[in-house]
Amino acid sequence: MVADLAKRAEAERKRKKLQEKIRVALYVQKAALHFIDAVNRVEYKLSNDVKEAGFCVGPDELASIVRSHDSKALGSHGGVEGLARHISVSLNDGIVSTDVSTRQNIYGLNQHAEKPSRSFWMFVWEALHDLTLIILMMCAVISIGVGIATEGWPKGMYDGLGIILCIFLVVIVTAVSDYKQSLQFKVLDKEKKNVLVQVTREGCRQKVSIYDLVVGDIVHLSIGDVVPADGVLISGHSLSVDESSLSVTAVGMRTEWGRLMATLSETGEDETPLQVKLNGVATIIGKIGLAFAVMTFLVLMGRFLVVKAQHQELTKWSTTDALQVLNFFAIAVTIIVVAVPEGLPLAVTLSLAFAMKKLMRDKALVRHLSACETMGSATCICTDKTGTLTTNHMVVNKIWICEETKLITRKEDVLSSISKEVQRILLQSIFQNTASEVAKGKDGKTNILGTPTETAIVEFGLHMGGDFNVHRKESEIVKVEPFNSVKKKMSVLVSLPNKMGFEHFAKDIEKPDCIPEDNYTLVAVVGIKDPVRPGVKEAVKTCLEAGIIVRIVTGDNINTAKAIARECGILTDDGIAIEGPDFRDKSPQEMEEIIPKLQVMARSSPSDKHKLVTQLRNVFKEVVAVTGDGTNDAPALAQADIGLAMGIAGTEVAKESADVIIMDDNFTTIVNVGRWGRSVYINIQKFVQFQLTVNVVALMINFISACVSGDAPLTTVQLLWVNLIMDTLGALALATEPPNDALMKRPPIGRNFNGKRLLKLTGSDATDILNTFIFNTFVFCQVFNEINSRDMVKINVFERVLDSWVFLGVMFSTVSFQIVMVELLGAFADTVPLSWDLWLASVLIGAASLVVAVVLKCIPVQTGQDHQVAKGHDGYEPLPSGPDMA
């Protein structure tokens, strides 16, 4: 074999040449990257304010480190510990409270930029854009010009000026109402975003508002918490542990969330389902009003032209004739203004806003506007047990240890019968295997921060003479298995002091046969007492009377759940109690059989709760409200018609998924939300009844009078005043009626429309006194009709009238201004003063509607017991009464 050494040498030279080229290219690339990095690197200069405050890092550089995940920049400051020194914070003790204002001034507030609220004049400007009001304004201006030309100054301007003043009043009242409503919703929106965050300041653990968070705060996070600001991780076992610490490095607009929020437009509430439906009703009524307005104008013009033809003056037109035609046109436009029930959406919004404000005082924060009205339609509540039906104030009252069961009265009763070694292992098991922490408050008292179950166990350990911090430092925690609703246990792996091995502790195992029998020793079993909340039994009874079925869905033992359910009045003799594993194994046909009688589901997982809610909604067409407090409850809360999150025990993830936050975790508060939801529907029914009556009467009076006499007794100014009573003031009076207990004893029933629509259909001859009398009588009919609308079933409509100061104020204002309009504003309102007998007649005729209402309420209403009524968001199923009630 002959080797070609020349070729080998040539190949070697080529290989080395290629390697050299690659090496040069890499050096060039490296140099280029260094150059680019140097160009992009921003030299941050500290301002005098930052230096004077004692900080070594400016706000922009700090935000850049976190936003860009710049580990090099973090390393240049000495890592996490060095960065903490540069922003003057102790990783153990946190910041000093006196530095909060200084840090806010330098690094900014933890709030993202929001669009400024619309000013009051913006609402005035929007109200002036109403097309009908613009047309009326043009008519008023023309009327002033023609009036002055024909009748002289100042009498000729009265009609037009009266219209302008009424338009001004309508615009102002509408703008004030919308402006106050927008301010209220802004306060509610800020309140629902206000999250309490656990921080360490001056060595003490405390809760502060997310708005008060500053750069340097040591934030403690647990499962389900929402990270309140950009930060640097100080310590933690893994991304799924129960607790870790973050040092806040960017707040407000310098966070990623703040930058995202800055790009979003101002959020607003969508229209609720009820508003959408009433908008459709308003459109139909508006079209009917438009038709009547056109017919009224054509009739008035026809009669006017006939009269001119009889006098052979069709070709002769004077300014008086033009003013008359303009008046006909203004009346027609005003009929449209009155007929279009723009007050319907206003009444819904007012009623919902009023309910939300009252519920806030009653410890319920409504996050979504539609949730309040939907809660009024709820037919089923799936509730947790712990903390909702019970007090959530847990206390260890029994313990099994060393094969003996003991009542916990004094610690000596337990410690006297166990050895020091058992005591050490017991306390170590309690203090190591927990996500809770023990911290000193500002008042020097010991505070236990954690779930109620863990708090009870840790409190027991402290009562037994244990020291939380000492036992935690005895050994290092290597791994944590956090508690979840599937495993139903929490475990920790700790290293022994001699580093020779590990110890594994487990707690909260549900079934005795799940406890390992090999290589483990059962140290103790504790019994925890959690009594039923006061008032829960009465609240459950109220729900049953209202046709709302209450079901307990809990992860606890079935015997405990059944005992609490019977004590609360939820579980009946024919009711079904089932465990989650058994429920999830059922076939769809079996579920359809058991769900109607299902009252308790124990040992359930989040997926079981989600499946139950889905079945209730899709198969049984129930309107379902669901309570939840854990992160795993979020899917069920989102699936339900109304998600109710617990404000105290609930995680931030659960709260974000919910429609209503129950601030005190109390079941009675949930029932109160349902009561207010039903009140919203009742108040809207009252307003619709009142407004339809006014609409029909106003349209018919002017139309019939135009056909009979050729004139409209209700002038433009008078109709605008009636519209103000009907829309804005009527909505304010009727939509803010507080709920009563009767709402939770029967579903709302629509009635009384037919007789009342026919109550005031009369026409009259056109004279000044008679027209004023008709107008005055018409207004008093509306006043008494508004009183009738307070309760559509009970005869005594004055019941609890003194409790509604808004209603009384509207009534007094309406009557007072009506007197002023008739007696003093005759030139502006086209009225003349009335005698005492005519005033008395007007009031008595109006009050006659009270008698008519009593007669109509005494007429039996067919309930259609043989007809099954479907349940849904917009109504209730008629309920049985007496012994047949569920």
In a domain, 154, yes or no: no
Find which of 90-99, 218-227, 315-324, 328-337 is predicted with most confidence, using mean pLDDT: 90-99
Nearest 10 degrees: CA dihedral of 23, 24, 26, 27?
A: 120
pLDDT tens across 155-188, in order?
667 666 766 776 777 677 677 767 876 776 677 6
pLDDT of residue 683: 79
Rounded to an integer, the average pLDDT of 658-672 is: 85
In a domain, 184, yes or no: yes
pLDDT tens across 691-715, in order?
777 777 777 777 777 776 666 677 6
pLDDT of residue 206: 81
3-state secondary structure 131-159: HHHHHHHHHHHHHHHHHHHHHCCCHHHHH
In a domain, 95, yes or no: no
Rounded to an integer, the average pLDDT of 723-728 is: 64
pLDDT tens across 103-124, in order?
888 888 877 666 677 888 888 8
pTM of the model: 0.59
Domain that holds residue 557: 364-391+532-665
Domain check: are 181 and 310 in the same one? yes
Question: Who has greater pLDDT, 647 or 279?
Answer: 647
- Report yes or no: 124 and 193 within 8 Å, Cβ to Cβ: no
Query: Is the pLDDT reported for residue 534 higher than 80?
Result: yes
For 553, the token pair is 């869905």
Domain check: are 698 and 818 in the same one? no
Domain of residue 386, CATH code:
3.40.50.1000
pLDDT tens across 343-402, in order?
666 677 677 777 877 887 888 888 776 777 788 888 899 998 887 888 878 888 888 888
In a domain, 759, yes or no: yes
Rounded to an integer, the average pLDDT of 749-762 is: 32
Rounded to an integer, the average pLDDT of 205-218 is: 85
Q: Report the alpha-carbon distance of residue 222 to residue 549 in Å, rounded.
A: 34
Q: What does 728-751 look like in DSSP terms, one character per residue? A: IIHHHHHTTPPP-GGGGTS-----
Q: Residue 133 contacts by C-beta under 8 Å, 6 or more apart in sequence?
A: 127, 167, 170, 171, 337
In 3D, which of 383, 380, 382 has the Cα closest to residue 623? 380
Q: Report the alpha-carbon distance of residue 532 to residue 826 in Å, rounded.
A: 67
pLDDT of residue 403: 81
Question: Who has greater pLDDT, 596 or 292?
Answer: 596
pLDDT of residue 443: 67
Q: Report the alpha-carbon distance of residue 414 to residue 524 in Å, rounded.
A: 11
Q: Sign of the C-alpha dihedral, residues 556, 561, 564, 568? A: positive
- Report yes or no: 388 and 665 within 8 Å, Cβ to Cβ: yes
What 3-state DSSP class applies to 486? coil
What 3-state DSSP class applies to 208? strand
Find which of 221-225, 319-323, 857-861 is predicted with most confidence, using mean pLDDT: 319-323
Residue 850: alpha-carbon gap to chain centroid: 38
Domain check: are 542 and 626 in the same one? yes
Question: Who has greater pLDDT, 732 or 92?
Answer: 92
Domain check: are 313 and 373 in the same one? no
In a domain, 868, yes or no: no
> For residue 865, which phi and psi values (nearest 5 degrees)?
-65, -25
Helix axes 120-127, 158-192, angle to 10 degrees: 130
In a domain, 876, yes or no: no
Domain check: are 322 and 452 in the same one? no
Domain check: are 180 and 280 in the same one? yes
Residue reference for tokens 């079935």: 558
What 3-state DSSP class applies to 645? strand
In a domain, 113, yes or no: no
pLDDT band at 599 (very low <50, low <70, confident <90, very high): very high
Active site residues: 384
Domain check: are 450 and 486 in the same one? yes
pLDDT tens across 18-56, in order?
878 787 777 777 776 666 655 555 556 777 777 777 788
pLDDT tens across 448-504, in order?
877 788 888 888 888 888 888 888 877 777 777 777 666 677 888 777 666 555 555
pLDDT of residue 886: 35
pLDDT of residue 159: 64
In a domain, 359, yes or no: no
pLDDT of residue 123: 83
Q: Report the alpha-carbon distance of residue 175 to residue 125 in Å, rounded.
A: 9
pLDDT tens across 189-209, in order?
676 677 788 888 887 778 888
Counting the structural domains of the chain, the total is: 5
pLDDT of residue 577: 92
For 165, the token pair is 């003043």
Domain check: are 590 and 487 in the same one? no
For 880, the token pair is 């049985």
Q: Report the alpha-carbon distance of residue 876 to residue 745 in Å, rounded.
A: 12
Domain check: are 374 and 420 in the same one? no
Min mean pLDDT across 145-159, 224-238, 433-447, 476-490 is at: 145-159
Domain check: are 794 and 767 in the same one? yes
Domain check: are 287 and 177 in the same one? yes
pLDDT of residue 263: 37
pLDDT tens across 814-844, in order?
888 888 877 777 666 667 777 777 788 888 8
pLDDT of residue 35: 62
Domain check: are 483 and 626 in the same one? no
For 39, the token pair is 């160009």
Domain of residue 417, CATH code:
3.40.1110.10
pLDDT of residue 39: 52
